[in-house]
Amino acid sequence: MASNATIFKTTLQISDMDRQYYGDHVLTLARHPSETDERMMVRLLAFALHADEALSFGRGLSTEEEPALWHKDLTGAIDLWVEVGQPDEKTIRQACGRAKQVYIYTYGGRGADHWWEKNLATLNRFNNLVVMNLPVDGSRALAALAQPSMQLQCTIQEGQIWIADGETTAHIELMIVKDTPTPFRQ
């Protein structure tokens, strides 16, 4: 018998001064049995960075044809496809073909660096792909905030990110590994 997903309830207050986005979101995160708190919280960070009323979580790790997060327009066309971790080249190629903009948030230190070095030549050809790397201290700080019920505040200003739960604050500075010639704006 397969294990069930663990459910996390989150109230996320976002103040993104870089995008002029301010909003409160009540989210339900289903953590797949094979998913770590670290990966789940990186998904939550990606949500905060792209927050919009139309942004939604995919069905999870076991569904290959859906991303961690996506934003579809009213016609069903995919404006934004967000992956977390180290997706394979085939998944990235398909995402870049289906979506206007694709973001990948890597984490995990040397593993993420090795993944990028291995895929650099192939991924550089995609003009609609952005790759961001979350340093290991940032992803671990996020993982430490994981609780079954969370009330988090996220502040984003000049590329700096702070996520706090009232007692602890995680400071995050993403590293841009690959950018696009013309960034996508929602």
The one-letter amino acid at 98: R
The first and second tokens of residue 93, run together, are: 């190629």
pLDDT digits (tens, 9 = 90+) for 4-42: 889 999 999 999 999 999 999 999 998 988 899 999 999
Per-residue model confidence (pLDDT) at position 63: 62
- Comparing CA positions, the residue from 179, 180, 161 lying closest to residue 171 is 161
The domain made up of 6-178 has a fold known as: Restriction endonuclease-like alpha-beta roll fold (3.10.640)
The one-letter amino acid at 162: W
Residue with tokens 């952005």: 130
Task: State pTM to two decimals.
Answer: 0.93
- pLDDT < 70 stretches in the chain: 1-3, 60-64, 182-186
Q: Where are the domains of the chain?
A: 6-178
Per-residue model confidence (pLDDT) at position 85: 95
Would you call 48 helix, strand, or coil by DSSP? Answer: helix
